[in-house]
Structures are given as C-alpha cells and as structure tokens.
Amino acid sequence: MTATAEQPASTAIGTEPVLSVRDLVKHFPITSRGVIRRKIGDIHAVCGVSFDLYPRETLGLVGESGCGKSTTGRTVLQLQPATSGSVVFQGQELTDKSSKQMRSVRRDLQIVFQDPYASLNPRMTVNDIVAEPLRIHGLHDKHSGDKMRELFRLVGLNPEHGNRYPHEFSGGQRQRIGIARALALEPKALILDEPVSALDVSIQAGVVNLLEELQDRLGLAYLFIAHDLSVVRHIADRVAVMYLGKIVELADRPELFDRPAHPYTQALMSAIPIPDPVKERERRRIVIRGDVPSPASPPSGCRFRTRCPKFANQLSEGERERCVEEEPALIERGQGHPAACHYAAVEKVL
C-alpha cells in the first residue's frame, strides 16, 4: 500500500501510518438550565481535523487553551464518541467499535494525561498501578514482578520503590509512573496529553529526555499534545497548529519554525518569550488583540479573522471579504506545506 497522498508534510513517506484521522468532528451539546434540559446549541470543540501519525515519529499538536487538543486526543481513543469522521488505527476503523472491542485496541494505543497528581489512584501502591493494565487484560502472571522491575528501570525509577504510594513521589516521578503504566502493555503509539506541563522545568527536562529515549528504544509513535511550542520544537518531528477546533498549519518541524505561513502560527511563535535577554530585547513582537472567540459560535469564514493582524492591517476591503465568507482550506499554496489561510505567506519570526 502507499502513503496517504493528502499528507505532504511527512517525514515518513513510504511507510503506512499507524494512525489516520480524517475529518474528525466533536461537538458537545449546550443544554438550557432548569428542569427540562433542552439542547440549545453546540460547542464546536473539534471541527474537521485530519492528520496521520507514522511509526517512530512524534507529531506535536499545539494550540492555546480550549482549541480542542485534548478533545482530539480523547476522541481518537474513543473515550468520547466522535460526532463524525474517521479514525483508523493499524488498519482498523475505531469510530464504530464497541467499548469492549476498544479494550483490545487500547493495548496498542495508550494515553498519558497531564496531571500526575489526579491520574494515579492514591490508595494503590505504584506497583499495582503500573500492573493494573496487565491485570485488566488478563496478562498478570508470576513473571509480572520481573516485568514491573523492568518497567521501573525503563522509566528511570528505582524498582525498589514499587511498594510505595503515589503521594510519596514528586511530580516528575509520578509522571514517570504514569508513563510506565502506559508502557506495560507494550503499545505501538502513545497519546501524550500535556505530559510535562505541570512540572517544574528542571524536572520536565528529565521526562522529555525519557520520552525521547523510549521512542528510540521501543519504536513508539507519539501524538504529543502541548501548549508550549518550545517543548514541541524540541521533541516533535512534525507539528500541527490548532486554533478553535481546526488545524491551521501542518509542517515538518524545521519547516514550521523557519517558515511559518499562517498568521496565527506567526503570532503564537512571536508571543513566546525566549530566555535570552538580548534576543528578547531585540525581538519584534506581533501582539494580537482580543481573546479567542467562543467555540459555541465560531466566526464565519476564517475562524482567526477576529484576531488576525493580517486581516486587520494588511488586507484590502475586497480581500477581507473572502476571509469573512469563505473558510480557508488546509492546503499548500506555494509555501511548501499546508496552511489554512487564503493569503498564506511565509514570514520569519524567530
């Protein structure tokens, strides 16, 4: 079989993707208050998201709070049913699977959550926490003890500490425990939902290194969800930038950081402070105005138009009309990679 044609920005053309997501949509109903709860609208959390994830690669999914990153991750795993669209994992369509059927899929596709404090059961020893997936899948046997020790070593924790409780570990250590648990069933792909966002930087670095090392050793594919573009630049092979439920730009890492083509990507990059006083003083900053509109009533046409500096400062009246009326598709317009802007143009920001 051949690689999907509509995914030009890929490091792994020629291999089959492990995960293919097409036109994924997830709406949450908004109901009226009161005794009779009527549906009065929809939150358009994810609106037609498509991407491929290849073996051994890291695809970064970035964007600001509420843009639909976690919902994308959870819907891919069918932790929430998709409103529409398709999710193909290792050749199987997931959106029509029952929860029982999904259980066996989850052996190969696991998720790690952001909060290392909330996601571990405080009443279980960390050994039991890490072994739980084995037990659920009926794989727990007399060799599990060895397996546990191996997993602990793999995530850089001392195996001697397996009979302790989560509260005895630091945030970074708890995140390692969550990763060990996700690895217990030897998955092919991991969805990492902000796995280091809650950690202090000095500790975050060790977990990032661990994820990179595990990928090299185990050949894992990562969907790495984050709001911090600096971490994504460090860890990802390809990057998808989301805004208000849609992917607005998708490119290989060097391409995205050197040649961002969407006004939102450019603004996002330029807003991120760099820990270098001279660079920071000399930087030109694109400050975008206003806040993200409500996903209950996204703007017509291009969803970024209410904050787009290009729309506000550069386009003619006639050009703007197109932004208001026609939704820009995520296609290549001569910049070498797809961006969802009618007037996409590369601008160096860093």
Partner 1 sequence: MSRPLTSATADAHGGTAAPAAATAVGHEAGGDAVLRVTDLTVDFPTDDGVVHAVRGVSYALSPREVLGIVGESGSGKSVTSLAIIGLLPKTARITGSVRFRGEELIGLPDKDMRKVRGEQIAMIFQDPMTSLNPVYPIGWQIAEGIRAHHRDVSRAAARSRAVDLLALVGIPHPKERAANYPHEFSGGMRQRVVIALAMANDPDVIIADEPTTALDVTVQAQILETLQKAQQETSAAIVLITHDLGVVAGVADRVLVMYAGKPVELGSVDDVYYRPRMPYSIGLLGSLPRLDAVDQDRLTPIAGAPPSLINLPPGCPFSPRCPLRQGVCDDEEPALRQTDGQAHYAACHFSHTLESEDGVPEGLFSATSADFSGPIAIMPPTGAVAPTEGPQS
> Which parts of this chain interact with partner 1 (CB under 8 A)?
64-65, 156-158, 160-161, 164-165, 167-170, 172-173, 176, 200-206, 208-210, 212-213, 227-231, 233-235, 254, 257, 267-281, 283, 285, 287-289, 291-292, 307, 350
CA distances from residue 331 to 64, 115, 340 in whole angstroms, order as listed: 22, 35, 6
How far apart are CB 197 and Mg ion at their closest, in Å? Answer: 9
- 34 contact choice in Mg ion, partner 1, ligand ATP, none (CB below 5 to 8 Å, kind-dependent): none
Is 242 near ligand SF4 (CB under 6 A)? no
Regarding 70 and contact with Mg ion (CB under 5 A), the answer is yes
Interacting span for ligand SF4 (CB under 6 A) from 66-74, 112-120, 125-133, 299-307:
299-307
Report how far residue 108's alpha carbon sits from residue 221's, in angstroms, rounded to the nearest whole number.
Answer: 11
Chain position carrying tokens 């596709």: 109
The yes or no reply on residue 305 touching ligand SF4 (CB under 6 A) is: yes
Cβ proximity to Mg ion, 20 vs 70, nearer residue: 70
For residues 264-323, which are near ligand ATP according to CB under 6 A?
A: 295
Q: In whole angstroms, how close is the CB of 267 to ligand ATP at the nearest point? A: 17
**Min dist. Cβ of residue 343 to ligand SF4 (A):** 4
Q: Which of 328, 335, 337, 349 binds ligand SF4 (CB under 6 A)?
A: 328
Size of the site for ligand SF4 (CB under 6 A): 12
Among 7, 10, 50, 71, indicate the residue that binds ligand ATP (CB under 6 A).
71
Using rule CB under 6 A, residue 177 touches ligand ATP: no
The reply to whether 75 sits near Mg ion by the rule CB under 5 A is: no
Q: Which does 141 bind (CB under 5 to 8 A by kind): partner 1, ligand ATP, Mg ion, none?
A: none
45 binding ligand ATP? (CB under 6 A)? yes
Using CB under 5 A, which residues numbered 83 to 102 contact Mg ion? none
Helix 201-218 to helix 171-183 angle, to the nearest 10 degrees?
Answer: 20
Nearest CA among 286, 122, 107 for reference residue 181: 107
Q: CA-CA-CA-CA torsion for 234, 251, 336, 334, nearest 10 degrees?
A: -130
Residue 41 found at the interface with ligand ATP (CB under 6 A): no
Q: Does 111 bind ligand ATP (CB under 6 A)?
A: no
Partner touching 70 among Mg ion, partner 1, ligand SF4, none, CB below 5 to 8 Å by kind: Mg ion
SS (H, E, C) the chain: CCCCCCCCCCCCCCCCCCEEEEEEEEEEEEECCCCCCCEEEEEEEEEEEEEEECCCCEEEEECCCCCCHHHHHHHHCCCCCCCEEEEEECCEECCCCCHHHHHHHHCCEEEECCCCCCCCCCCCCHHHHHHHHHHHCCCCCCCHHHHHHHHHHHCCCCHHHHHCCHHHCCHHHHHHHHHHHHHCCCCCEEEEECCCCCCCHHHHHHHHHHHHHHHHHHCCEEEEEECCHHHHHHHCCEEEEEECCEEEEEEEHHHHHHCCCCHHHHHHHHHCCCCCHHHHHHCCCCCCCCCCCCCCCCCCCCCCCCCCHHHHHCCCHHHHHHHHHCCCCCEECCCCCEECCCCCCCCCCC
Site string for ligand SF4, 255-294 (x = CB under 6 A): --------x-------------------------------
119 binds Mg ion (CB under 5 A): no
Residue 206 beta carbon to partner 1: minimum distance, rounded to whole angstroms: 4
User: How many residues touch Mg ion (CB under 5 A)?
Assistant: 1
Contacting positions for ligand SF4 (CB under 6 A) = 263, 302, 304-305, 308, 310-311, 323, 328, 341-343
Question: Which stretches of the chain bind ligand ATP, using CB under 6 A?
Answer: 28, 43, 45, 63, 65-71, 227, 295
